[in-house]
Amino acid sequence: MDPLPLWDSAHRRSSIPSLSKSRILAGMQCAKRLYLETYDPDSKDPVDLARQAILETGRAFGRAARGRYPGGVTIEEGLRHDRAVDETAAALSNPATAAIYEAAFTYAGIRVRVDMLAREQGRWNLIEVKSSAGFKEEYVPDIAIQIHVVEGAGVPIEKAILLHVNDEYVWPGGDYDPNLLFAIQDLSVEARNGIPPVLRRIEEMRAVLAESTPPAVPVGPQCRKPYRCQFHDHCHEGGPEHRVTGLPKLSPKIYEALVKAAVQDIREIPEDFGGLSELQWRVRNAVRAGKPYVHPDLSTKLGAIRYPVHFLDFETCNPPLPIIPGTRPFQQTPFLFSDHVLEEDGSTDHRSYIHPDRTDPRPPLVQALLRALDGEGSIVVYSGFEGRVLGALAEDLPAESDRLRHVAGRIVDLHELILHHYYHPDFRGSFSIKRVLPVLVEGLDYSDLVIREGSQAALAFSDMTDSRVPKRRREALRDSLLAYCRRDTLAMVRLFQTLKEVS
């Protein structure tokens, strides 16, 4: 149990809670995040739908990864930590234990759960599972903490291994082959070299936690790197109306220069401030003027878009564990498209296709797509994603390669057009369609939809095509997916029309 916070005469805590691995990693990102994580967890931002989808995908991957080291003992996640430590010790002492999943340890006031311990020739390897396609720098302190605690608790570690997805594995269907689906990387040297710097940071964290108030850390790039902080909204409450962190593509170097110059609000950036990009100056000037920026070429660019105009959006699934035979982990496989067609007289039509099951959706989707996009009108998308999907389809379906490349050649990226030719102060530095749409088109957003994010849509497709899911639920998911994709293309229609009016 964490000790109650006590206070000494200097208003410092005379005792602090234990550090968990998650708290230490929070502190590696930001000292204020660590403090809030420890003493004010209720201030966390609500877990949005996209984050929920990502977490669920990660849990499923973790369970499947155990197949790479089978026959292990599972230490239940819901156990109190002391009880989990005892059960781990019992499993370790049994010579028949081949592996331990979610092993628990405590040492020097630090608690960890280890994804897997696997016995190899009488020695233990520590396995860190990540549902990614390879190594990332932020994995090193994560594994370093675990080695320090596990060995401090009396269990020598032979190797520290990163287990991740082999994104070259093509799933043929049936059971996954764990020896092909999962790749392993020995990070023993990197992780052990990472222990001393992590321990120095831990001492700094304990000093932070001994204080009676959270550290005064200004918001900045660390709020989103390496991950969006769970206290992002909490820390961004109040303060300047237009924080400098609202500058798009803000680098740590420029942010530090702004902090050093005591500039907190975009409107305060002086004319002679060096280092801002053309886009950032445009944002600064629009915010300072309090009105939208409209590039003189916007009307010409919009006028070059040819009728009938198709507004195209794909939804894809790209799980780390493939669900469609013949695909690889993380392969962007389109299963749904929406196409709104705008005629020059203002009339509209709509077409769509959604794949009903876990057979390969690409051949029937492409045939429906080519019928829908037949002709020579422009194809408007929002971001380069649709172009990349079309390029991949052309590679995967060589018989339709020429027609698909012709379709791709008709694309106009509305996101790029807005990025270079229009800015509204209420965009707050973001050009995502979900931020731009409600600013430019009154009364139209995504708040009324069940599905509102692409990652949520991908998980919904997985459930919609899972025969174990009740039929009524699958039908509801199908309707929600169609509604979400249709909203994306309707949004582009309305944005296009609004931009033509203001240009």
pLDDT more than 90, % of the chain: 85
Mean pLDDT along residues 213-242: 87
The encoded tokens of residue 97 equal: 């234990």
User: Is there a single domain that holds both residue 144 and residue 102?
Assistant: yes
Q: Which of 291, 319, 354 is the last residue of a domain?
A: 291
User: Is there a single domain that holds both residue 60 and residue 187?
Assistant: yes
What is the tally of structural domains in the chain?
3
Mean pLDDT along residues 189-207: 96
Given pLDDT bands bounded at 50, 70 and 90, which one contains residue 10? low
Of 360, 323, 454, 361, the C-alpha closest to 61 is: 323
User: Is there a single domain that holds both residue 285 and residue 309?
Assistant: no
Q: How far apart are CA 233 and CA 157, in angstroms?
A: 40
User: Is there a single domain that holds both residue 385 and residue 471?
Assistant: yes
What are the angstrom distances between the C-alpha of 416 and each of 170, 311, 373, 423, 495? 34, 15, 22, 12, 13
Given pLDDT bands bounded at 50, 70 and 90, which one contains residue 224? confident
Q: Yes or no: say if 383 and 418 are a contact pair by the CB < 8 Å rule.
A: no
Q: Which pLDDT value is given to residue 208?
A: 95
User: Is there a single domain that holds both residue 306 and residue 279?
Assistant: no
CATH of the domain at 97: 3.90.320
User: Is there a single domain that holds both residue 185 and residue 72?
Assistant: yes
In a domain, 322, yes or no: yes
In a domain, 55, yes or no: yes
The encoded tokens of residue 90 equal: 């019992």
Q: Which pLDDT value is given to residue 227?
A: 83
User: Is there a single domain that holds both residue 382 and residue 478?
Assistant: yes
CATH of the domain at 430: 3.30.420.10
> Which three-class secondary structure string do you get for 323-343?
CCCCCCCCCCEEEEEEEEEEC
Give the model confidence (pLDDT) of 58-88 as tens digits. Answer: 888 888 999 999 999 999 988 999 999 999 9
User: Is there a single domain that holds both residue 285 and residue 370?
Assistant: no
For 186: left if phi > 0, alpha if psi spans -120 to 50, otherwise beta; the answer is beta
What are the angstrom distances between the C-alpha of 414 and each of 45, 378, 382, 385? 31, 11, 5, 12
Q: Which pLDDT value is given to residue 5?
A: 46
User: Is there a single domain that holds both residue 284 and residue 376?
Assistant: no
The yes-or-no verdict on residue 240 having pLDDT over 90 is no
Q: Which pLDDT value is given to residue 8?
A: 53
> Domain range for residue 53?
49-206
Write phi, then psi, for 55 (nearest 5 degrees). -65, -45
In a domain, 439, yes or no: yes
User: Is there a single domain that holds both residue 328 and residue 389?
Assistant: yes
Give the model confidence (pLDDT) of 139-148 as tens digits. Answer: 999 999 999 9
The yes-or-no verdict on residue 53 having pLDDT over 80 is no
Helix (H) or strand (E) holding 454: helix 454-464
Query: 15 has which bridge partners?
Result: 6
In a domain, 33, yes or no: no
Q: How far apart are CA 492 and CA 503, in angstroms?
A: 16
Q: Which pLDDT value is given to residue 344?
A: 96
The encoded tokens of residue 191 equal: 């992780």
Share the mean pLDDT of the chain.
93
The yes-or-no verdict on residue 47 having pLDDT over 80 is no
The encoded tokens of residue 466 equal: 């899972």
In a domain, 407, yes or no: yes
Give the model confidence (pLDDT) of 83-122 as tens digits. Answer: 999 999 999 999 999 999 999 999 999 999 999 999 999 8
Of 67, 126, 66, 72, the C-alpha closest to 96 is: 72
Q: Which pLDDT value is given to residue 97?
A: 97
Neighbours of 461 (CB within 10 A): 26
Q: Which pLDDT value is given to residue 94?
A: 96
The yes-or-no verdict on residue 259 having pLDDT over 50 is yes
Neighbours of 274 (CB within 10 A): 7
User: Is there a single domain that holds both residue 79 and residue 149?
Assistant: yes
In a domain, 230, yes or no: no
Neighbours of 119 (CB within 10 A): 19
Give the model confidence (pLDDT) of 273-306 as tens digits. Answer: 999 999 999 999 999 999 999 999 999 999 999 9
Give the model confidence (pLDDT) of 433-461 as tens digits. Answer: 999 999 999 999 999 999 999 989 999 99
In a domain, 43, yes or no: no
Q: Which pLDDT value is given to residue 3?
A: 46
The yes-or-no verdict on residue 2 having pLDDT over 50 is no
Q: Which pLDDT value is given to residue 11?
A: 65
In a domain, 7, yes or no: no
User: Is there a single domain that holds both residue 469 and residue 497?
Assistant: yes
Mean pLDDT along residues 350-373: 98
